[in-house]
A = this chain, B = another copy of it.
Protein backbone atom coordinates (compact mmCIF):
# COMPACT_ATOMS: atom_id res chain seq x y z
CA UNK A 1 0.00 0.00 0.00
CA UNK A 2 1.55 3.21 -1.18
CA UNK A 3 0.99 6.16 1.10
CA UNK A 4 1.69 9.81 0.38
CA UNK A 5 4.38 11.82 2.00
CA UNK A 6 4.24 14.84 4.27
CA UNK A 7 0.91 14.02 5.81
CA UNK A 8 0.44 16.31 8.80
CA UNK A 9 -1.18 13.73 11.01
CA UNK A 10 -0.93 14.51 14.69
CA UNK A 11 -0.49 10.95 15.82
CA UNK A 12 2.81 9.29 15.01
CA UNK A 13 2.25 7.03 12.03
CA UNK A 14 2.06 3.48 13.38
CA UNK A 15 3.78 0.73 11.46
CA UNK A 16 1.65 -2.13 10.31
CA UNK A 17 2.36 -5.51 11.90
CA UNK A 18 4.13 -6.78 8.80
CA UNK A 19 6.36 -3.71 8.66
CA UNK A 20 7.03 -3.93 12.35
CA UNK A 21 8.45 -7.38 12.04
CA UNK A 22 10.56 -6.30 9.12
CA UNK A 23 11.86 -3.24 10.93
CA UNK A 24 13.09 -5.43 13.73
CA UNK A 25 15.07 -7.54 11.30
CA UNK A 26 16.85 -4.77 9.41
CA UNK A 27 20.61 -5.04 9.97
CA UNK A 28 22.17 -2.00 11.61
CA UNK A 29 24.49 -1.52 8.65
CA UNK A 30 21.55 -1.44 6.29
CA UNK A 31 19.80 1.22 8.39
CA UNK A 32 22.81 3.50 8.02
CA UNK A 33 22.77 3.03 4.27
CA UNK A 34 19.02 3.61 4.04
CA UNK A 35 19.63 7.05 5.50
CA UNK A 36 22.15 7.70 2.74
CA UNK A 37 19.79 6.50 0.04
CA UNK A 38 17.14 8.76 1.48
CA UNK A 39 19.35 11.81 1.09
CA UNK A 40 20.31 10.92 -2.45
CA UNK A 41 16.68 10.30 -3.33
CA UNK A 42 15.59 13.58 -1.78
CA UNK A 43 18.18 15.36 -3.90
CA UNK A 44 16.87 13.62 -7.00
CA UNK A 45 13.29 14.51 -6.15
CA UNK A 46 14.30 18.15 -5.76
CA UNK A 47 15.74 18.04 -9.25
CA UNK A 48 12.55 16.66 -10.68
CA UNK A 49 13.71 13.07 -11.11
CA UNK A 50 10.74 10.77 -10.67
CA UNK A 51 12.14 7.30 -11.37
CA UNK A 52 15.44 5.60 -10.71
CA UNK A 53 16.95 2.16 -11.19
CA UNK A 54 18.92 0.29 -8.56
CA UNK A 55 22.02 0.74 -10.73
CA UNK A 56 21.73 4.53 -10.87
CA UNK A 57 20.85 4.89 -7.23
CA UNK A 58 23.64 2.61 -6.08
CA UNK A 59 26.17 4.61 -8.10
CA UNK A 60 24.98 7.85 -6.55
CA UNK A 61 25.12 6.36 -3.08
CA UNK A 62 28.51 4.76 -3.61
CA UNK A 63 27.49 1.17 -2.97
CA UNK A 64 27.07 -2.11 -4.81
CA UNK A 65 23.79 -2.42 -6.72
CA UNK A 66 22.97 -5.83 -5.27
CA UNK A 67 23.51 -4.54 -1.77
CA UNK A 68 21.21 -1.64 -2.43
CA UNK A 69 18.45 -3.93 -3.66
CA UNK A 70 18.84 -6.15 -0.65
CA UNK A 71 18.71 -3.15 1.66
CA UNK A 72 15.51 -1.96 0.00
CA UNK A 73 14.06 -5.43 0.20
CA UNK A 74 14.27 -5.22 4.00
CA UNK A 75 11.60 -2.53 3.94
CA UNK A 76 9.37 -4.17 1.34
CA UNK A 77 8.93 -4.52 -2.41
CA UNK A 78 8.24 -1.12 -3.85
CA UNK A 79 10.05 -1.33 -7.18
CA UNK A 80 8.73 -2.26 -10.59
CA UNK A 81 10.61 -4.98 -12.41
CA UNK A 82 11.91 -3.89 -15.75
CA UNK A 83 11.53 -0.24 -14.74
CA UNK A 84 13.00 0.67 -11.38
CA UNK A 85 11.76 2.64 -8.39
CA UNK A 86 9.49 5.62 -8.06
CA UNK A 87 11.52 8.23 -6.20
CA UNK A 88 8.63 9.65 -4.17
CA UNK A 89 7.39 6.24 -3.14
CA UNK A 90 10.83 5.15 -2.02
CA UNK A 91 11.39 8.36 -0.10
CA UNK A 92 8.15 8.00 1.81
CA UNK A 93 8.76 4.37 2.69
CA UNK A 94 12.30 4.95 3.90
CA UNK A 95 11.09 7.90 5.95
CA UNK A 96 8.42 5.76 7.49
CA UNK A 97 10.81 2.95 8.40
CA UNK A 98 13.36 5.34 9.85
CA UNK A 99 10.68 6.95 11.97
CA UNK A 100 10.98 10.32 10.23
CA UNK A 101 7.25 10.84 9.94
CA UNK A 102 7.55 12.14 13.46
CA UNK A 103 9.69 15.11 14.49
CA UNK A 104 12.54 14.45 16.90
CA UNK A 105 13.50 17.34 19.12
CA UNK A 106 17.19 17.63 19.80
CA UNK A 107 18.94 19.05 22.88
CA UNK A 108 22.60 20.04 22.74
CA UNK A 109 24.58 20.00 25.98
CA UNK A 110 27.87 21.91 26.11
CA UNK A 111 27.71 25.08 24.06
CA UNK A 112 31.42 25.51 23.37
CA UNK A 113 33.15 25.36 19.99
CA UNK A 114 31.31 22.33 18.78
CA UNK A 115 28.02 23.09 20.52
CA UNK A 116 27.84 26.47 18.80
CA UNK A 117 28.44 24.87 15.42
CA UNK A 118 25.70 22.33 16.03
CA UNK A 119 23.23 24.89 17.34
CA UNK A 120 23.84 27.16 14.35
CA UNK A 121 23.64 24.39 11.81
CA UNK A 122 20.67 24.76 9.52
CA UNK A 123 20.73 21.25 8.14
CA UNK A 124 18.92 19.49 10.97
CA UNK A 125 15.55 21.22 11.23
CA UNK A 126 14.91 20.69 7.52
CA UNK A 127 15.36 16.98 8.03
CA UNK A 128 13.02 16.63 10.95
CA UNK A 129 15.49 17.20 13.77
CA UNK A 130 14.79 20.65 15.22
CA UNK A 131 17.20 21.75 17.93
CA UNK A 132 14.89 22.92 20.69
CA UNK A 133 17.08 23.10 23.79
CA UNK A 134 20.62 24.09 24.70
CA UNK A 135 22.39 23.53 28.02
CA UNK A 136 25.66 24.59 29.63
CA UNK A 137 27.11 25.30 33.07
CA UNK A 138 28.90 28.49 32.12
CA UNK A 139 27.04 31.41 33.75
CA UNK A 140 28.09 33.73 30.91
CA UNK A 141 26.21 31.60 28.42
CA UNK A 142 22.91 31.13 30.28
CA UNK A 143 20.12 33.05 28.56
CA UNK A 144 22.25 33.92 25.55
CA UNK A 145 20.51 32.83 22.35
CA UNK A 146 22.54 30.61 20.04
CA UNK A 147 21.00 29.81 16.70
CA UNK A 148 17.81 31.38 18.01
CA UNK A 149 17.53 29.24 21.15
CA UNK A 150 18.47 30.64 24.58
CA UNK A 151 20.88 28.53 26.59
CA UNK A 152 19.49 26.96 29.76
CA UNK A 153 21.42 25.94 32.83
CA UNK A 154 22.17 22.24 32.98
CA UNK A 155 20.22 21.99 36.25
CA UNK A 156 17.04 22.69 34.33
CA UNK A 157 17.63 19.78 32.02
CA UNK A 158 14.88 17.51 33.31
CA UNK A 159 12.15 20.10 33.28
CA UNK A 160 13.10 21.54 29.90
CA UNK A 161 13.55 18.18 28.20
CA UNK A 162 10.18 16.96 29.36
CA UNK A 163 8.46 20.20 28.43
CA UNK A 164 9.98 20.33 24.94
CA UNK A 165 9.70 16.60 24.41
CA UNK A 166 13.35 16.14 23.63
CA UNK A 167 14.04 12.73 22.16
CA UNK A 168 17.69 13.07 21.20
CA UNK A 169 20.45 14.42 23.43
CA UNK A 170 23.77 15.55 21.97
CA UNK A 171 26.76 15.66 24.30
CA UNK A 172 29.41 18.24 23.38
CA UNK A 173 30.98 18.84 26.77
CA UNK A 174 34.58 18.18 27.78
CA UNK A 175 35.22 14.47 28.41
CA UNK A 176 35.17 14.59 32.23
CA UNK A 177 31.64 15.98 32.24
CA UNK A 178 30.23 13.61 29.65
CA UNK A 179 29.16 10.72 31.89
CA UNK A 180 27.43 12.96 34.37
CA UNK A 181 25.64 14.83 31.58
CA UNK A 182 24.65 11.50 30.09
CA UNK A 183 23.16 10.35 33.39
CA UNK A 184 21.15 13.54 33.65
CA UNK A 185 19.83 13.17 30.13
CA UNK A 186 18.81 9.63 30.88
CA UNK A 187 16.97 10.60 34.04
CA UNK A 188 15.24 13.31 32.02
CA UNK A 189 13.82 10.49 29.89
CA UNK A 190 16.04 10.93 26.82
CA UNK A 191 16.56 7.53 25.21
CA UNK A 192 18.87 8.48 22.35
CA UNK A 193 22.27 10.04 22.77
CA UNK A 194 24.83 11.26 20.28
CA UNK A 195 28.16 11.63 22.00
CA UNK A 196 31.06 13.74 20.75
CA UNK A 197 33.17 13.44 23.87
CA UNK A 198 35.90 10.82 23.59
CA UNK A 199 34.72 8.67 26.47
CA UNK A 200 32.86 5.38 26.71
CA UNK A 201 29.46 6.10 28.21
CA UNK A 202 27.67 3.72 30.56
CA UNK A 203 23.93 3.65 29.97
CA UNK A 204 20.95 1.43 30.78
CA UNK A 205 19.82 -1.07 28.17
CA UNK A 206 16.88 0.98 27.02
CA UNK A 207 19.07 3.89 25.92
CA UNK A 208 20.73 4.00 22.52
CA UNK A 209 24.12 5.69 22.24
CA UNK A 210 26.06 6.57 19.13
CA UNK A 211 29.43 8.21 19.29
CA UNK A 212 31.29 10.41 16.88
CA UNK A 213 34.98 10.19 17.63
CA UNK A 214 37.12 12.35 15.41
CA UNK A 215 40.40 11.28 16.94
CA UNK A 216 39.55 7.67 16.13
CA UNK A 217 38.67 8.62 12.56
CA UNK A 218 42.01 10.32 12.15
CA UNK A 219 43.86 7.38 13.63
CA UNK A 220 42.16 5.02 11.23
CA UNK A 221 43.31 7.25 8.38
CA UNK A 222 46.77 7.28 9.90
CA UNK A 223 46.79 3.49 9.94
CA UNK A 224 46.04 3.41 6.24
CA UNK A 225 48.75 5.96 5.44
CA UNK A 226 51.25 3.89 7.38
CA UNK A 227 50.18 0.68 5.69
CA UNK A 228 50.41 2.29 2.29
CA UNK A 229 53.78 3.90 2.93
CA UNK A 230 55.00 0.59 4.17
CA UNK A 231 53.80 -1.32 1.15
CA UNK A 232 55.56 1.18 -1.06
CA UNK A 233 58.76 0.74 0.95
CA UNK A 234 58.62 -3.04 0.75
CA UNK A 235 58.21 -2.88 -3.01
CA UNK A 236 61.18 -0.57 -3.44
CA UNK A 237 63.66 -2.49 -1.29
CA UNK A 238 62.33 -6.02 -1.76
CA UNK A 239 63.03 -6.93 1.86
CA UNK A 240 61.73 -10.34 2.87
CA UNK A 241 60.91 -11.92 6.20
CA UNK A 242 64.41 -12.54 7.51
CA UNK A 243 65.73 -11.04 10.72
CA UNK A 244 62.71 -11.97 12.78
CA UNK A 245 62.43 -10.76 16.32
CA UNK A 246 65.26 -8.27 16.02
CA UNK A 247 65.35 -4.66 17.09
CA UNK A 248 65.02 -2.21 14.30
CA UNK A 249 68.31 -1.67 12.54
CA UNK A 250 68.90 1.82 11.29
CA UNK A 251 71.71 2.86 9.00
Contacts and interface: CB of A to CB of B under 8 A. Distances in A.
A150 B123 CA distance: 28
A228 B106 contact: no
A231 B116 CA distance: 35
A222 B168 CA distance: 8
Contacts of A100: 219, 222
A124 B240 contact: no
A237 to B, nearest CB: 10
A218 B230 contact: no
B102 A216 contact: no
A116 B240 CA distance: 39
Of A198, A222, A240, which is in contact with the most chain B CB atoms at under 10 Å from its CB?
A222
A167 to B, nearest CB: 6
Contacts of A221: 104, 168, 192-194, 208, 210
Contact of A32 (B28, B220, B239, B245): B220
Is the interface on chain A under 10, 10 to 19, 20 to 34, or 35 or more residues? 35 or more
Nearest to A222: B99
Contact of A227 (B23, B32, B212): B23
B18 A225 contact: no
A5 interface: no
A145 interface: no
Given A14-B239, A104-B222, 13 more contacts: A20-B234, A38-B219, A62-B200, A98-B222, A99-B225, A99-B227, A102-B250, A106-B218, A168-B222, A168-B225, A193-B221, A194-B217, A194-B218
